Structure 1
Amino acid sequence: MRIREACPEESDCLSEIAIQSKAYWGYDDWFLNSCKSDLTLTERYIKQNPTFVLESNNEIHGFYSILLVKHRLDHFFISPKSIGQGYGRKLWQHMVEICTMWNFSSLTIESDPHAEGFYYKMGANWIGETESTVFPSRNLPLLEVIFDHDHNFRNEEKMRELILQYAKLHEPIRGAIMNGSRVNPNVTPDRFQDYDIVYFVTDVEPFKQEKNVLPHFGEVMLIEKPEDKILPAPLADGRFTYLIQFMDGNRIDMQFVAVENIEEKLQDSLTEILLDKDQIFPDLPSPSERSYWIKPPTEKLYQDCCNSFIWGLGSHIPKTIWRKELPLLMTLIDGVLREPLIHMLKWKVGHDNGYRVSVGKAGKNLEQWVEPELWSRFIDTYPDSNYDRIWSSLFAFHDLFLDTALEVGRAHGYTFPIEEMDRAIKFLKNVRQTANKNP
């Protein structure tokens, strides 16, 4: 016995089971004919809604389906000849596991009155009545089952299963890949790693509707859709992106990309193929950080980095700190000082390691690649809002950038603009002397 996803071509078989199961309760032909439309599953329905069958010895004994958008159990039927053999309980247990994996808090059931007792035994509760879609004068029991998982964190195995299942259920999705830290062999796994997923689709448009995407993956805490925003400006390259933070702590960064753009997306060396319905992906090497290795600076890039730092230190920063324009000052420190400094430190790390390493986004892993003394100096560049400590951090910036840039310059045969730096730091010191006189 096994429970598996239904195949679209099984729609007639499942429809017949639904009608026979309904007839088991003694309904007459007129009633059954009236219900036939509601009891009929189409191939399209199975493709669009999670539908699972229980089979044994190549025979289907029952099935259930879920409407993701409404969090509703839409069908739950056991073949009459299989009733009483425990298949209903098995299907129910599977349904609970699936809904728990999706992190549903609850599921509603518009129950047939004859099946109401079974659902109560399985743990469902009566919450009211709902009008029949076939006979408006007939009210049906409205039940609810609560999944008391307290937003338990779903592990990677469950999340991967969820991501794959979504792709399999949707015909326009022809392939899926995962990028980022989850496939990086050099990253120590932790629960806060994002799932960076790209679905390659024949048509992006249907996936721009939240109702076609979000209900499948669980309860959402926060969502961002970059292509729907004005600020920052979207890339406007045809993709559609969901950044989703779930209630259980997981996060998926999900892109829907046209299949014709596959080659571009495969340039990332941190890529693992999850699904390929049409054999459209080439063979890929094992994921590695190669695409993210630090690249040596050209002389022009080195000089531009030095110029940006020196200009910031000698022009932007002095007037802003003298005026005590704190919000602008802190923004400038990060932009015109810290960014060039991190670039220079990355080149130092790259040179020291043959340019075959990565320090991560924005230098987040610098600490593990530099000497403790150098890291301590780098920490000294982070001030708080106290102006005396900000002044101290500016001189720490100068000293660290100067030492690092001279070392990188010597290593690559580039000349550091020492006279410009001397003029900038002299001016900054002069401004410091007059800062206390600022009214």
Structure 2
Amino acid sequence: MKTYDEMYDLIIKTATEDDRIRAATMEGSAVTPGAVRDGFSDFDITFFVSDIREFTADKNYMRKFGDILIMQTPDDWYMEPYDYNGKKRFAYLTQYKDGNRIDLTFIDVSEIGKQTDFNEPRTILINKDGFTELKEITSGDIFFIQKPSEFEFYNTVNEFRWVSNYATKGLCRHQFYYAKYSMEHLMMNMFMKMINWKVGIDNDFKVTTGSFSKYLRKYLTEDEMKRFEGIFAGGAYEDMWDKVFLMYDYFEDLSIYVADKLGFSLDLEESSNVREFMKKRYADNCEK
């Protein structure tokens, strides 16, 4: 396996020696303050090129960096095929057999003006033509957890309670995937917003838990992390019933905390009524 430095040097060498590549930048975890960088980290690279069509037409281009395990081209999707005669941005997401991964985006230099709006952490690797539109960005503020408005908080609480009834309905009917989806997507999406707001409050809204909250463990106590891990259900219906109530109660505790810290109102009577409705469904359909 190429080391991080070896792959980095190969990327720089490739961009330097190819006259078609006029500039190169690096984004992602490698340049984001506080992000984890280890053997699983990706190289997020952008090449600004004189004619993007020369690169989109060359499906073997990414082989120059190693033996490909699997590659994806998200800009060329069956629902929205890429126009290979055009000059829109194009990305190759490539996992190599040796463990390295490069997400390489190509941007035609005719589109360089749009880079003035770029606001994510980025370092300039090469700038052969001195493009002033390319700026070094060292702050990761854009990824920080954002403080909610009271209306967003209300909608999140309301949605969580509402979709909780989808989960119990699915469990009563033994509609396995419907119930699972309701718990692990519909309810969980709202739950993750609330627990992230709690993290944001505790850290003055100057941190990020990363994409899909992958750094959440950094900001929870050991007991909090155990409680969080404990709300995920297995495949047995009884376990799913148990976990839907554990999730509901944890969400309420979090919403009380967030509401108190941010000065938001919270209807706990409605929460209690919804929970009692869920309990009645369980009693009518599952208790002997």
TM-score by length of 2: 0.90
Do residues 291 (structure 1) and 147 (structure 2) align?
no
SS at match of 2:126: strand
Do residues 186 (structure 1) and 34 (structure 2) align?
yes
2:196 matched residue in structure 1 = 346
2:131 matched residue in structure 1 = 280
Equivalence map 1:13-412=2 (5 Å)? 153-211=1-59, 213-230=61-78, 238-259=88-109, 260-261=111-112, 262-263=114-115, 266-268=118-120, 270-281=121-132, 284=135, 287-314=138-165, 316-412=166-262
Distance 1:322 1:239 in 2: 48
CA offset digits 1:7-66 (Å, max 9, x no partner):
xxxxxxxxxxxxxxxxxxxxxxxxxxxxxxxxxxxxxxxxxxxxxxxxxxxxxxxxxxxx
| Paired residues of 1:306 and 1:417 also in contact (CA < 8 A) | no
Q: CA deviation at 1:351?
A: 1.1
Q: CA deviation at 1:178?
A: 0.9
Q: CA deviation at 1:408?
A: 0.6
The 3 A distance-change label for structure 1 pair 396 and 234 is: farther
| Paired residues of 1:195 and 1:252 also in contact (CA < 8 A) | yes
Q: CA deviation at 1:235?
A: 10
SS at match of 2:75: helix
Q: CA deviation at 1:398?
A: 0.8
Identical aligned residues as a percent: 28
1:414 matched residue in structure 2 = 264
Distance 1:301 1:186 in 2: 28
Which residue type is aligned with residue 184 of structure 1?
T
| Paired residues of 1:179 and 1:197 also in contact (CA < 8 A) | yes
| Paired residues of 1:313 and 1:337 also in contact (CA < 8 A) | yes
| Paired residues of 1:206 and 1:212 also in contact (CA < 8 A) | no
Q: CA deviation at 1:367?
A: 1.3
Distance 1:336 1:234 in 2: 30
SS at match of 1:226: coil
| Paired residues of 2:115 and 2:133 also in contact (CA < 8 A) | no
Distance 2:204 2:62 in 1: 44
| Paired residues of 1:341 and 1:401 also in contact (CA < 8 A) | yes
Q: CA deviation at 1:363?
A: 1.2
| Paired residues of 1:349 and 1:369 also in contact (CA < 8 A) | yes
Which residue type is aligned with residue 290 of structure 1?
D
Count of paired positions: 283
Which residue type is aligned with residue 49 of structure 2?
V
Please, what is the CA RMSD of the aligned residues?
Answer: 2.3
SS at match of 2:12: helix
Large movers: runs of 4+ above 3 Å: 233-237, 281-286
- Work out which structure has the larger RCO, using CA pairs closer than 8 Å and 6 or more positions apart in sequence: 2
The 3 A distance-change label for structure 1 pair 290 and 223 is: same
Distance 1:344 1:276 in 2: 42
Distance 2:191 2:129 in 1: 47
Equivalent position to 1:424, from 255, 274, 283: 274
Distance 1:264 1:312 in 2: 41
| Paired residues of 2:116 and 2:134 also in contact (CA < 8 A) | no
The 3 A distance-change label for structure 1 pair 285 and 169 is: closer
Distance 1:234 1:348 in 2: 41
The 3 A distance-change label for structure 1 pair 212 and 275 is: farther
CA offset digits 1:89-111 (Å, max 9, x no partner):
xxxxxxxxxxxxxxxxxxxxxxx
The 3 A distance-change label for structure 1 pair 421 and 202 is: farther
Q: Which runs of no fewer than 5 residues in structure 2 stay unpaired?
A: none
Q: CA deviation at 1:285?
A: 5.3
| Paired residues of 2:164 and 2:182 also in contact (CA < 8 A) | no
Distance 2:76 2:118 in 1: 25
Distance 1:393 1:246 in 2: 39
SS at match of 1:223: strand
Distance 1:265 1:246 in 2: 32
CA offset digits 1:344-395 (Å, max 9, x no partner):
1111111111111111111111111022222221111111101111111111
The 3 A distance-change label for structure 1 pair 336 and 417 is: farther
Please identify which structure carries the higher strand content: 1
SS at match of 1:390: helix
Q: Which runs of no fewer than 5 residues in structure 1 stay unpaired?
A: 1-152
Distance 1:200 1:215 in 2: 19
